[in-house]
């Protein structure tokens, strides 16, 4: 939590100085609001994040040409917040606007296009439209395999997402295979207590639980919780989620 507070304090100080030194719609102000929104997002304070990110987009729309790549970042980040708030149609709209601009502004195998397809796929997954989700996610993975090195963290994220769609479709062995590939890449690409490991272990635990392998599930959930305790604030919603998963599993024994 301390690191987030420091980052927030630093970004807010920077914004204060920029407001005095720069014209009201300068792109640097948009960047400051975007950074502040990003910290609030990581803290799980989604309404504060949304407020900062929308201010960033507002400024960027005035300061930049209509298909500037920086606009895609704003739309993408706003989509992420709506997604986490469960407002899926708003998230989809933001992600699709981001993809639209990226298709105009970027080469066809640019990694940012993969990110857009991935985000759209995950919203479809949340909306229960699994075939649309899988189609977007596979497009994302296809681009990433061309654009990125073989152990890039983004590839791990995309395998994770595909795994979760298979999970929602009830195809647990396919899901487990994708999730284990994701974890493999993360072990090479990330530091040992990175929050993404918590996601991997939590999702793998869900597969084991549905496959009736409860001791493996419990072990994975506990590993996830251990990592979250070291990497996110104590108020972060993911901590409560994993604790609840552990409790629910123990009640089934």
Nearest to 179 by CA among 215, 197, 205, 204: 204
Going from N- to C-terminal start, the domains of the chain cover: 1-105
Distance CA 177, CA 181 (A): 6
CA 170 to chain centre: 23
Do 194 and 222 contact (CB within 8 A), yes or no? no
State pLDDT tens for residues 187-227.
999 998 899 999 999 999 999 999 999 999 999 999 999 99
For residue 116, give the 3-state DSSP assignment.
helix
Do 115 and 154 contact (CB within 8 A), yes or no? yes
Distance CA 26, CA 148 (A): 33
Does the pLDDT of residue 1 top 80, yes or no?
A: no
Confidence band (pLDDT; 50, 70, 90) for 63?
Answer: very high
In angstroms and rounded to an integer, the radius of gyration of the C-alpha atoms of the chain is 19
Query: Which tokens in the block code for residue 132?
Result: 């649309």
What share of the chain in percent tops pLDDT 90?
80
Distance CA 141, CA 158 (A): 6
The pLDDT of 129-150, averaged and rounded, is 96
Distance CA 7, CA 42 (A): 11
Distance CA 114, CA 153 (A): 13
**Mean pLDDT of all residues in the chain?**
93
Distance CA 209, CA 161 (A): 18
User: Is the pTM here over 0.85, yes or no?
Assistant: no
Query: Which tokens in the block code for residue 109?
Result: 């195998």
Distance CA 171, CA 210 (A): 10
The pLDDT of 158-177, averaged and rounded, is 95
Distance CA 29, CA 163 (A): 38
State pLDDT tens for residues 43-56.
999 999 999 999 99
CATH topology assigned to domain 1-105: 1.25.40
């Amino acid at each position: 939590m301390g690191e987030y507070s420091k980052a927030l304090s630093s970004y807010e100080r920077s914004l204060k100085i920029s407001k005095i030194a720069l014209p009201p719609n300068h792109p640097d102000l948009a960047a400051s609001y975007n950074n502040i929104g990003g910290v609030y997002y990581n803290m799980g304070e989604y309404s504060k994040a949304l407020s900062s990110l929308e201010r960033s987009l507002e400024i960027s729309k005035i300061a930049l040409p209509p298909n500037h790549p920086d606009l895609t970042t704003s739309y993408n980040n706003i989509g992420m917040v709506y997604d986490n708030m469960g407002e899926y149609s708003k998230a989809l709209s933001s992600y699709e606007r981001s993809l639209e601009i990226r298709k105009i502004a970027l080469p066809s195998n640019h990694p940012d296009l993969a990110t857009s397809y991935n985000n759209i796929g995950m919203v479809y997954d949340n909306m229960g439209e699994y075939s649309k989700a899988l189609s977007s996610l596979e497009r994302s993975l296809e681009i990433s395999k061309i654009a990125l090195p073989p152990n890039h963290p983004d590839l791990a994220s995309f395998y994770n997402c595909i795994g979760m769609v298979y999970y929602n479709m009830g195809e647990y062995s396919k899901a487990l295979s994708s999730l284990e590939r994701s974890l493999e890449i993360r072990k090479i690409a990330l530091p040992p207590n990175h929050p993404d490991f918590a996601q991997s272990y939590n999702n793998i635990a869900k597969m084991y639980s549905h496959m009736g392998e409860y001791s493996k599930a419990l072990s994975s959930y506990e590993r996830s919780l251990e990592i979250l305790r070291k990497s996110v604030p104590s108020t972060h919603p993911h901590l409560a989620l994993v604790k609840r998963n552990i409790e629910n599993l123990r009640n089934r024994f």
